[in-house]
Amino acid sequence: MTEEISREPEMGRTFEKVWAMFQETDLKFKETDRRFKETDLKFQETDRKISKLGSRIGDLVEELIAPNILEKFNKLGYVFGKAGFNVRYRDTRGAYITEVDILLENGDTALAVEVKTTLTDNDVRDHVRRMEKLRSYADEHQDKRKLLGAVAGAIAADEVKALAIKNGFFVLEQSGDTVKISVPEDFKPREW
């Protein structure tokens, strides 16, 4: 019986040690959780900065493409008198339909240019869908002009350029301090 009595104070100390360890672990968990939240906020801020940088790079590419674009298409026989940038289209209720990075216009033709830093297959497919939306929008507004499309990229793989041409798009590339239109001699642009 004396043995059991002598163990009780020892068990009490063991319980106190275990309880202290639980409390210490709980504090460490709370500190770890706080650090995870701080890290998450830092990642979110970094994502915002990268997104903003990506947007600014896209703006730069547009600025590189835009200056010579009218001249280049005029040499191909299109006389565009007007160029619009970041032209947004909305339906009659004001809902967003689509946006065109560069829109060249004259009395009978409009050419919608999609500009990307790195042009991908998905960008080409997206532009086909954008052109279809533009045709629907034009038809709803009795705009009977021919709609043509072009894609531009600071970087574009040969297979992406081939896909764009196959879909009837002009392909614009930065070449030194100017823009070149990369299409085969027998190229016939698709009309929407």
Q: 64-181: what CATH class?
A: alpha beta
pLDDT recorded at residue 26: 77
* One-letter identity of residue 43: F
pLDDT recorded at residue 134: 96
Is 150 within 8 Å of 169 (Cβ atoms)?
Answer: yes
pLDDT recorded at residue 60: 47
- 3-state SS string for 130-190: HHHHHHHHHHHCCCCCEEEEEEEEEEECHHHHHHHHHCCCEEEEEECCEEEECCCCCCCCC
pLDDT recorded at residue 65: 60
The rounded distance, in Å, linking the Cα atoms of 74 and 169 is 17
Terminal Cα distance for the chain, rounded: 99
Is 119 within 8 Å of 160 (Cβ atoms)?
Answer: yes
Instruction: Give the containing element (helix H, strand E) for 52.
Output: helix 2-65
Q: What is the pTM of this model?
A: 0.68
pLDDT recorded at residue 125: 98
How confident is the chain (192 residues) per 10-residue block, as mean pLDDT?
A: 57 75 80 78 70 54 64 88 90 92 93 93 97 96 96 91 97 78 91 96
> How many beta carbons lie within 10 A of that of residue 112, not counting itself?
25
